Amino acid sequence: MPADMERVMTLTADGGVTRLLLAAVLVAATLSLATAHGPAEWIQRGGFRNAAGELCCGERDCAEISGEDVSITGAGYFVRSIRETVPFSEALPSPDGQYWRCQWGGSRKCFFAPPPSI
Q: Give the pairing of strands 76-79 and 84-87.
A: antiparallel
Q: What is the mean pLDDT of the chain?
A: 77
What is the gyration radius of the CA atoms in the chain, in angstroms?
A: 23
Q: Does position 106 have pLDDT exceeding 80, yes or no?
A: yes
Q: Does position 28 have pLDDT exceeding 50, yes or no?
A: no
Q: How far apart are the first and last CA of the chain?
A: 79
Say if residue 86 is exposed, middle or buried (CB neighbours under 10 Å; 0-12, 13-18, 19+).
buried
Q: Measure the CA–CA gap between 1 and 26, rounded to whole angstroms.
A: 31
- Annotated domain spans of the chain: 3-34, 41-113
pLDDT-derived band of residue 36, with 50, 70 and 90 as boundaries? very low
For residues 80-103, average pLDDT: 95
Q: Does position 110 have pLDDT exceeding 80, yes or no?
A: yes
Q: Does position 29 have pLDDT exceeding 60, yes or no?
A: no
Q: Does position 78 have pLDDT exceeding 60, yes or no?
A: yes
Residue in 96, 95, 93, 57 with CA at minimum distance from that of residue 77: 93
